């Protein structure tokens, strides 16, 4: 059996190959980090940037809705007036 594993090779990172050299890792203590550094600044300006890039997607439907709603209210007010009732009677 060529290429087959004959037994346990070792845990991950220690599989019997040559040792790696020249790899240096650094870490910062979680107590030395500032988890909320710049959170307020980023919250304001990130929110503005995201909303301004998406405004067309909610401003147009809201504007259309408000326009249609105002037209419907005006039409309803007209139909409940004396002139509106006369117009409806003339149509029927």
Q: Smallest Cα–Cα separation from 79: which of 64, 66, 71?
A: 71
Structural domain contains residue 87:
yes
Looking at residue 32, its pLDDT comes to 79
Q: Smallest Cα–Cα separation from 79: which of 70, 88, 71?
A: 88
Q: Which residues form the domain of 62? A: 56-92
Structural domain contains residue 69:
yes
pLDDT tens digits for 7-43?
666 677 666 666 767 878 888 887 778 878 888 998 9
Structural domain contains residue 33:
no
List Cα–Cα distances, 19 to 9, 11, 16, 23, in angstroms.
Answer: 14, 14, 8, 11
Structural domain contains residue 77:
yes
Structural domain contains residue 42:
no
Structural domain contains residue 75:
yes
What is the tally of structural domains in the chain? 1
Structural domain contains residue 85:
yes
Instruction: Pinpoint the alpha helices (H) of the chain.
Output: 39-79, 82-91
pLDDT tens digits for 47-79?
999 999 999 999 999 999 999 999 999 999 999
- C-alpha 48/C-alpha 54 separation (Å) is 10
pTM of model > 0.85: no
């Amino acid at each position: 059996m060529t290429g087959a594993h004959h037994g346990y090779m070792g845990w991950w990172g220690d599989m019997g190959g040559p040792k790696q050299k020249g790899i240096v890792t650094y870490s910062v203590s979680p107590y030395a980090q500032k988890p909320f550094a710049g959170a307020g600044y980023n919250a304001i300006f990130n929110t503005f940037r995201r909303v301004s890039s998406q405004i067309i997607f909610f401003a147009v439907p809201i504007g259309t809705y408000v326009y249609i709603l105002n037209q419907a209210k005006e039409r309803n007010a007209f139909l409940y007036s004396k002139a509106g009732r006369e117009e409806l009677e003339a149509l029927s």
